[in-house]
Structure 1
Amino acid sequence: MTTARDLLLVSMDGTAAHRTVEQGDLSLALAGAELLDLAEAEILTLDGDRIVPGPPRELDDRQLTEAAAALARQTPYESVEDWLWRRGRGLYARYLGALETEGGVTRQHRRWIPLSTGRTTVADSPERRRAVERWASGEPVLTGLAAAARLRDEPPEEFTDRTGDAVVTVLAAVDDAVTELAAVRQRRSIEDAAFDNVWRGQ
């Protein structure tokens, strides 16, 4: 059980999260969650905003093992921001695919639309229940990441008074990256609208 998997589960669970979130935002938060779990496992330390890897070793979780193997080991070490953008690309889809393979989520297919992918729902499992309990308890790392991904209304810094420096650094980086991604989306939306207006002769 990892923070990234917990975050994905609560983002999909209607009782835990009442707000939908953009996949890109969640991918950035999942990458941040991996960093914090790797720091907790003493696979890495943070020197300011730089990720300093420790000796590699196998972990119980496959995705987390992949994340550890992806750490940049050359100096100057990678910044948290750069990690979020590099590791976060498509990370939501990879975590969701792993959960589907393991039976952690299912797709509801409509009988009258055979080719429909259907709606993805979280299967009732001990893993889901633990994630929801962690969410309900207000655990600061999980709730802080959820706030940074815009699953919660509170700003992520509200949760940092109960955490260490590494969590503060990662939450701030995730929040900044999600804000930047939202600005990119807005800019593209404006550009697309302007392009459409040109073709309409406006």
Structure 2
Amino acid sequence: MTTPRDMLIMSLDRTSGHPPERGDLSLALAGAELIDLLGAQAISLDGDRIVPGYRPAIADHLLDEAASALVRQAPYESVDDWLWRRGRDLSTAYFAALEADGQLTRQREGRLPFSPRRLVLADSPARRLAVDRWTSDEPVLAAFAEALGIRDERTGDDPSVVDDEVATVLAVVNDALRHLEFERQRRAIHDAAFDNIWRGE
């Protein structure tokens, strides 16, 4: 399994099938892809710029797709630009991949034929591995969970990420998530003001 898939599984597992906003997940998934590519030595960082390395064989097709999508010409792409470009609808692709692999199923929420369906995690080896990684307080997965607001209440200090490049990616992901939340709030305020004008308030 990969960090993006483990993160997505845990986001479903910890939120009873109702994960965080798709936009938040997409940004975090794009960041998780970078961390796995760093681990595979397929990239390195020069400041906040993603410098492609050698092109390894990657079994996971979405992570392989990410490696193929890297900008390979100087001045290269910033981590922030990558998150917004690669992250566009990325959660949809990962949900589809998990469903195609039989790791997600759809169950009706009610008894009526037209009741909405929700995604439910299958009891799979992949889910058990993700849970093991979660319960071991693996620093990267814990950091993504914290950023997405799905951490449990825990005692003691959170495990820290010691790799500087990984820490850089995580910091940029956190900034991008805050920016996205700011835009949501700004849009909500704008829409509310527009509604008030039409109602004459």
Q: Same fold (TM over 0.5)?
A: yes
8 Å CA contact retained: 1:4, 1:30: yes
8 Å CA contact retained: 2:9, 2:130: yes
Counterpart AA for 1:61: D
1:20 CA drift (Å): 4.4
Report the TM-score when normalising by structure 2. Answer: 0.91
Q: Give the whole-Å Cα distance in 2 for the aligned partners of 1:65 and 1:49.
A: 22
Q: 1:162 to 1:187 in 2, by over 3 A?
A: closer
8 Å CA contact retained: 1:11, 1:20: yes
- Alignment correspondent of 2:37: 38
Q: Residue 121 of structure 1 aligns to a residue in which SS?
A: strand
Q: 1:178 to 1:111 in 2, by over 3 A?
A: closer
Q: 1:173 to 1:111 in 2, by over 3 A?
A: closer
- Alignment correspondent of 1:189: 188
Counterpart AA for 2:8: L
Q: Does 1:6 align with 2:6?
A: yes
- Alignment correspondent of 1:51: 50
- Residue by residue over 1:138-197, the C-alpha shift from the partner in whole angstroms, topping out at 9 and shown as x without a partner, is 00011112212232379xxx7573420011101100000000000000000001111111
Identify the range of structure 1 (167-176 vs 107-116) with the bigger mean alpha-carbon deviation.
107-116
- Alignment correspondent of 1:82: 81
- Structure 2 matches for 1:67-146, cutoff 5 A? 67-109=66-108, 112-146=111-145
Unaligned runs of 5+ in 1: none
Q: Give the whole-Å Cα distance in 2 for the aligned partners of 1:37 and 1:110.
A: 35
1:116 CA drift (Å): 4.3
Q: 1:7 to 1:110 in 2, by over 3 A?
A: closer
Identify the range of structure 1 (18-27 vs 45-54) with the bigger mean alpha-carbon deviation.
18-27
1:47 CA drift (Å): 1.1
Q: 1:201 to 1:150 in 2, by over 3 A?
A: same
Unaligned runs of 5+ in 2: none
Counterpart AA for 2:148: A
Q: Does 1:148 align with 2:153?
A: no
Q: Give the whole-Å Cα distance in 2 for the aligned partners of 1:143 and 1:17.
A: 18
Percent pairwise identity: 56
Q: Give the whole-Å Cα distance in 1 for the aligned partners of 2:90 and 2:5.
A: 11
Q: Give the whole-Å Cα distance in 1 for the aligned partners of 2:111 and 2:160.
A: 52
Q: 1:120 to 1:181 in 2, by over 3 A?
A: same
Please give the root-mean-square deviation of Cα atoms over the aligned residues, in Å: 2.1
Q: Give the whole-Å Cα distance in 2 for the aligned partners of 1:84 and 1:36.
A: 12
Identify the range of structure 1 (174-183 vs 23-32) with the bigger mean alpha-carbon deviation.
23-32
Residue correspondences, number: 198
